[in-house]
Amino acid sequence: MHSGEVQIDSPAALRAPRNRVHPRARQWWTIRALIGVAVLLVPQLVALMIAGNQWLVPAVVATVVLGTAYVVVMPRLRYQVHRWEASPEAVYTLSGWLSREWRVAPLSRIQTIDTQRGPLQQLLRLATVTITTASAAGPLKIDGLDAEDAAELARDLTEATNRAPGDAT
């Protein structure tokens, strides 16, 4: 081994997760981005119409240009990055679009497994699985899973964590 190299033989070593989220996640992220841009743009347009101040025009144009770029680019980048995997030893996640977070939670450290389905997720038949550990970094979240796959993952992880040695602390 050369100076500066790290050798890790553990099966739970940090590695790229294998599974992509569901392709419908791009639609979910796009709709959420459109709502976020609308929350910024609508008050600006109302203020422009009521006040008529031309100094608001650059703000509206900037919101439209940057908002459009965000709505078009962010969902595609997130879909390219977001991955997950559950092995007999750990759960792996990779998320983000500008800043990326790569996380591993050994099964013995998992405390709770939750699924969430907001209104848009229900409409698109998607779900989020949240895996809580004792980590100060917070829970692992797998956004954009098919709802049935998320339920199956939650069941499988629950069974696996019940078999895993350790007390999840």
Mean pLDDT within 9-26: 78
Mean pLDDT within 41-46: 95
Residues 162 and 112: their CA atoms lie apart, in Å, by 11
Q: How many CB atoms lie within 10 A of CB 84?
A: 24
Mean pLDDT within 17-34: 97
Domain locations in the chain? Answer: 26-77, 83-163
| Residue 14: band (very low, low, confident or very high) from pLDDT cuts 50, 70, 90 | low
Instruction: List the beta bridge partners of residue 85.
Output: 92
Contact 115, 93 (CB under 8 A): no
Q: Helix (H, G, I), strand (E, B), or coil: what is residue 24?
A: helix
What's the pLDDT at 162?
83
Q: In this predicted model, what pLDDT tens digit does every residue of 58-87 receive, in sequence order? A: 999 999 999 999 999 999 999 999 999 999
C-alpha 153 chain-centroid distance: 16
What's the pLDDT at 1?
45
What's the pLDDT at 128?
98
Q: What is the CATH number of domain 83-163?
A: 2.30.29.210
